Amino acid sequence: MNLENSIAPRLREGRHVHGISVGTPQPALIQMCGYAGYDFVVIDNEHGPASVETVGEAIRAAHGVGLAPIVRTFERDIPRLLDAGACGIQVPLVETADQARRIVQACRYPPAGSRSVAFSTPAARYGFAGGPAHVEASDRAIAVILMIETAAAMANLDDILAVPGVDAVCVGPTDLSYSLGLSGEGKHPAVRAAVAECVAACKRAGVAVGANAFSGDDCREHVAMGMTYHTMMLTFLLGAALRGGLASMRTAAAG
């Protein structure tokens, strides 16, 4: 595991980082994202079907091209994914400070946290980079990212952000819209107001904040709001490129 790939220091310094969300974590796709110049990849194990073993191969591919692998996952799999070499964890549906505290603890070795110590793992380069230096570097480099996407999370937001060790928040407007009774209306004024409230709270707490963008306009809006943690979805980018390519071929054939 190459901890130098981590985006955690840049998040803490308030710098912009640019990533790609991948739900089908095939190593070749991960490598392409790295060659394209992205800072990090979010391997989606919330909505994606991949096993921990498959994600481990994707993590290895990411490190090979200088791409920081962040895994979007539920709490139960955090220990295995960190041992597999993830540079960060992005947990969906975080709603309380107690949950945020558990997540941070799971990402830190004792005495700072509760992560089990093992130096035979890919994260410790199978023992070639174990020991105190690995523990210290991991505690410093692992990014902890929480997803705020429900009305309950918004009600507890200040308490969640007060938990030490939270590096960034990723807002989920789609889930938030459903939670607010505005099913699928991610651009509804009430949802936009909730997103703006989340961004403002993160700024006050000194925590980086971001959201998934579906277009260049979304990206510009997010930057204007003060977001620094930026992602786009590989499936949407590929879909747009495929439709554009087909349209070009059909236009050429039509003469």
| Catalytic residue ranges | 47
Alpha-helical (H) ranges within the chain are: 8-12, 27-36, 52-64, 78-83, 97-106, 132-141, 151-155, 157-161, 173-179, 189-205, 216-225, 234-254
Which residue from 166, 160, 251 is spatially nearest to 208, judged by alpha carbons?
166
d(CA 84, CA 249): 43
User: Please, what's the b/e burial string for 204-221 (b: 16 or more CB within 10 A of its CB; e: otherwise)?
Assistant: ebebbbbbbbeeeebbee
What sign does the dihedral 225-229-235-238 (CA atoms) show? positive
Q: How far is the CA of 96 from the CAs of 19, 113, 114, in angstroms?
A: 26, 18, 19
Q: Is the Cβ–Cβ distance between 27 and 61 less than 8 Å? A: yes
Kindly state the helix (H) or strand (E) to which residue 229 belongs, with its residue range. strand 229-233
Cis peptide before 92 (omega within 30 of 0): no
d(CA 172, CA 152): 13
Residue with tokens 């590989």: 234
